[in-house]
Amino acid sequence: MTESSNSKIKIGGLQFQWKLEQGQFLFEKEDAILFWISSAMKTFFDTMEEISGEEAANIVLEATGYRQGLVVGEYFKKLKVNVSEAVELIPNTYASAGWGRAIISEIDEEAKTLKIHIKDSWVYKINKAQEKSKAGTFLAAHYAGIFTGLFGENIWFKLVQSQLEGNEHDEIEYFPSDITVTKNIHRLIRTKESEEISRLEEMVRNQTDELQRLVRELSSPIIPVLDGIVVVPLVGRYDKSRSDDMIEKTLNSLPTHHTRFLVVDMTGLHIDEDAYTAYMIEKLGAAAALIGTEMILVGISAELGVLMTNSGFNFSNYQCFQTLQHGIYYALAQDGHQII
C-alpha cells in the first residue's frame, strides 16, 4: 500500500479516510479519532474515577454510552433502516471501528427484546488493564440507546454474564423498561445527598456531644471560697440532664472540701415558666443535708421568687440572701468568724 496525504480504504463495506494535511481521520465520511485503548483511554477512565469516584464515573459512562446510542439509532432511522437491517449492519460497523465483536440474537420485534454477545470490546480491554473485577456498562447502555431509537420505546439492559469474570463473552439482555439514565443520575445524586446529610448529621452529633461535654465541665463550677464554705453559681437554663449533672458533680465535691455550707448563687439563673427550677433546688438541698451540708440561697430575684413560691417551693427550709456577699457573711458567722 502506497502512503499518501489523502488515503481512502474500505473494510467490511465501511469507508475509512485520512486527510493528513487537514489532520483529519474520517469514518463513513464523519470526523473520527483514534486512541490507544490500554494506555490513553485507560488514563482517561482512571482520571475520571480519581476525580469523581468510581460510582459516579460509572454513571457518567453509562449515560454517555446510552445517549451516544440514541444518536446512532436516530442515524439509522434517518437512513430509513429498519430493525432487521440495522441488526445486520451493527456487528460489522462496530467491529470495523474496534469496538469488539457483537452478535445479536433472539430478537423479538413485537416484544422489543433481544440478546447481544460482545467479545473483546475496548471497554473490556480497559477494565482488564484497570484490573477491575466488575464490567463497566458503557457498551451495554450504548446498545440500549441504539435500540431505543430503533424501537421507538425506552429499552434497558441486564448484564447476564461478563467476559471480565472469565466468561467467553459479555451476554446482555435488552427489554422495554422505565429505567432511564436520567433516573439513574437522579438516584446517584439522591444517594450522594443522603450520604452527605448523614455525614453532616454525624458531625453535628459529634459536635453536640463535645459541646455538651464542655458545658458540663463549665456548668455550675464548684468554688471553695473559705474553709468549709463552697459556692456554686447557677447560670443559664437547666434541663433534666444538665441539672442532674450539676447535682451529681456538686454532691461528689462537697466531702472533698469538708463543706459545711453550700452557697448556691442564683443570680444568673434563667427563669423558666415551669416548676423544674424549684424541683432542682429542693433536690440539691435535700441531698446536701443528707451529708451534713447546709444550703444557702443567694441572688434570688423578685420574679424568680414569685415563680418558685407559686410552684410550692418552701423557702423556710433555707437561709436566703440578696447577694453572694451576704450569704458568705452568714456562713462565717455560724462558726463565729467575720470578715474585717
Calpha distance 338→336 (Å, rounded): 7
The model's pLDDT over 290-318, given as tens digits with 9 standing for 90+, comes to 999 999 999 998 888 888 888 888 888 89
User: Does residue 122 contact residue 34 with C-beta atoms inside 8 Å?
Assistant: no
Which sequence spans correspond to the domains of the chain?
1-33, 35-179, 220-334
256: helix, coil or strand?
coil
Q: What are phi and psi of 14, to 5 degrees?
A: -115, 145
The model's pLDDT over 66-100, given as tens digits with 9 standing for 90+, comes to 999 999 988 888 888 889 999 998 998 889 888 99
**Residue 39 confidence (pLDDT) above 80:** yes
The candidate with the shortest Cα–Cα distance to 65, out of 29, 130, 118, 128, is 118
Q: What is the pTM of this model?
A: 0.58
34-52 average pLDDT score: 88
Please state, for a pLDDT cut of 90, what percent of the chain lies above it.
44
CA–chain centroid gap for 10, Å, is: 52
Residues counted in the chain: 340
35-179 belongs to which CATH class? alpha beta
Q: Tell which wins on pLDDT, 238 or 214.
A: 238
Please state, for a pLDDT cut of 70, what percent of the chain lies above it.
94
Calpha distance 340→328 (Å, rounded): 13
Q: Name the CA dihedral angle for 272, 276, 282, 284, rounded to a multiple of 10 degrees.
A: -90
Reported confidence tier of residue 165, pLDDT bands at 50, 70, 90 = very high
Q: Does 35-179 match 220-334 in CATH topology?
A: no
The candidate with the shortest Cα–Cα distance to 154, out of 136, 128, 180, 127, is 180
Calpha distance 226→35 (Å, rounded): 85
Reported confidence tier of residue 111, pLDDT bands at 50, 70, 90 = very high
The model's pLDDT over 166-186, given as tens digits with 9 standing for 90+, comes to 999 999 999 999 988 888 888
Q: Tell which wins on pLDDT, 275 or 252.
A: 252
> C-alpha angle 106/108/114, rounded to 5°?
50
Fold of 220-334: Transcription Regulator spoIIAA (3.30.750)
Residue 216 is predicted with a pLDDT of 64
Calpha distance 159→143 (Å, rounded): 12
Calpha distance 93→115 (Å, rounded): 18
Give the strand pairing for 14-19 and 24-27.
antiparallel
